[in-house]
A and B are shown apart, each in its own frame.
Chain A
Amino acid sequence: MDADGTADVLVRLRDVLRDSAVEEHDWDAVEAETPIESLGFDSLTILDVLYDVEEEFGIALDPKQVVKTRTVGEIITLLQQNGA
C-alpha cells in the first residue's frame, strides 16, 4: 500500500461507484485523473453516490466542497482531508 493510503481509498471508492451506479462503466479503469463528469452521473445518481461514499468511509462531506471537485483524485483528497 502507498504511504498516504491513496491507492486504498481509490479501491474503496471504485467499489462504491460500482455498487451505486446505475449505468455500466469500466470502474476498474477509474484512476485519480478520471474526470467525474465522465462517470455518467446526473443530478439524481450523484446524490446516491455521495450518500454511499459517506457511509463507506464513515464521514460527512461538505457539499460545497464536493461540488468543486472535478476529478476522482480531488474526491480522494477531500475524503482524506476528512479522515478517510
Chain B
Amino acid sequence: MLHLLEYWAARLALFGVDLLPPAAASRWAAALGSLWWTADRQRRRVAISNILRAGVTNDATEARAIGRGASRHMGMVLVESMKSALVLDDPERLRVDIPGDVAAVLEDPDRGLIVVSGHFGNWEIAGQWLSRYKPVAGISRPMTNPRVQELALDRRQRRAFRMIPKYDPDPGRFLKLLGDGEILALLVDQHARRGIDVPLFGHPAKTHTTAAMLHLVARTPLTFLVCRRMAPMTFELSLSPLIEQARTGDREADVEAIVRTLNAHLEEAIRRDPDQYLWGHRRWR
C-alpha cells in the first residue's frame, strides 16, 4: 500500500514538474518533501535521532527543522535530476571547482578515477556532469519501491552514466572499468554490513571499503565530490584534491586511513549544509 502511495506521489510530482517552470517545480517538490516529512513518522524519528546523535545541533526543535529541510531538499533533488539539462548546460547554474590534479585525470582518457560522495546535495547532477568527461558507472541498490525506481530511471538524463547492480557477481567488474579509463562513482554513506567501523561524527559507523581497496590495489586516483545547492536549480560542485594513501603492507590500516579521510570530507560537507543530507537512513546500528 505504501509503495502504491509513493508511486502515485512520484507520478503527481512528475506531472507538476512537466507543467511548471523549473523554479516553481523545485518549490513544489520541496513542499511535497515537507508533506512527506509529516507523513513518514518512522523516517522522521530516525532522522531526528541521527541529527542529534551527529551533534549538528543539541536542540530537538532545531533538529526537527533541519530534518524537515532535508526532506524538502530530497524532494528538490528528485525534480532537479529530472530537469538536469537546465543545470548542466548553464554555467551560471553549475559552478565547478576542479583541482589541477583531478582535472588532469579527467582529461586523460586512459586513466580511471574513483569518485566518492554521499547522499548529500545533488549527487545525481554530479554524476551526470562527470559523465561529460568519461563514462561513469555508479553502484546502486535497487530502490525499495520498484515502481518508483522504474519511473525514475525512465526520466533521468543518463548520458554516459550507467548503473551497476550492487550484487553483480563479477569480482573483476570494478577493475575492468577503471582499467578502461572510466569513472567509478560510489556513495559510501550507507550502513555497510561488511564494512569497517570508522567514526562518523564521532560515532563508529560501518563503512564501505571498496573505494579504498580499489585505490590501493588498482592504484586508481581517488577524490571526494560535493555538489551543494546554492539556490533552486543552482549548484556548486567541488572535488577534493586527489586522496593519496601509500601502501604500508598493513591492509587494514591503509583502508582505515582512507575511509577516515572520506568520512571527514563527508562530515565537513554535512556540517556546512545539514539540511542537504539524507538523514532518514539508520547509519549507526
Given contacts A55-B249, A67-B172, contact A47 B179 (CB under 8 A): no
Q: Which of B252-282 contact A (CB under 8 A)?
A: none
Q: When the two chains form their complex, are residues B251 and A44 in contact, meaning their CB atoms are under 8 A apart?
A: no
**Cα-based distance from A60 to B219 in the complex (angstroms):** 10
Q: When the two chains form their complex, are residues A63 and B179 in contact, meaning their CB atoms are under 8 A apart?
A: yes
Selected from A41, A47, A51, A52, the residue in CB contact (under 8 A) with B210 is A47
Q: When the two chains form their complex, are residues B251 and A43 in contact, meaning their CB atoms are under 8 A apart?
A: no
Q: When the two chains form their complex, are residues B175 and A66 in contact, meaning their CB atoms are under 8 A apart?
A: yes
Number of A positions contacting B (CB below 8 A) = 18
Residues of chain B contacted by A54 (CB below 8 angstroms): 217
Q: At the interface, yes or no: A21 with Cβ under 8 Å from chain B?
A: no
Q: When the two chains form their complex, are residues B169 and A42 in contact, meaning their CB atoms are under 8 A apart?
A: yes
Q: At the interface, yes or no: B107 with Cβ under 8 Å from chain A?
A: no
Q: How far is the CB of A49 from chain B (nearest CB, A)?
A: 9
Q: When the two chains form their complex, are residues B194 and A43 in contact, meaning their CB atoms are under 8 A apart?
A: no
How large, as a class, is the contact surface on chain B? 20 to 34
**Cα-based distance from A57 to B139 in the complex (angstroms):** 32
Residues of chain A contacted by B170 (CB below 8 angstroms): 43
Most buried by B among A43, A55, A64: A43
Q: At the interface, yes or no: A10 with Cβ under 8 Å from chain B?
A: no
**Cα-based distance from A64 to B219 in the complex (angstroms):** 12
**Cα-based distance from A43 to B214 in the complex (angstroms):** 10
- Chain B 167-184 interface 0/1 with A at a Cβ cutoff of 8 Å (1 = within): 011111111101100000
Q: Which of B199-218 contact A (CB under 8 A)?
A: 209-210, 213-214, 216-218
Q: Which of B210-266 contact A (CB under 8 A)?
A: 210, 213-214, 216-219, 247, 249, 251
Residues of chain A contacted by B174 (CB below 8 angstroms): 43, 47
**A positions within 8 Å CB-CB of B:** 41-48, 50-52, 54-55, 60, 63-64, 66-67
Known: A42-B171, A43-B170, A51-B247. 9 other contacts (CB 8 A): A44-B209, A47-B213, A47-B216, A50-B217, A51-B251, A52-B251, A63-B178, A66-B175, A67-B179
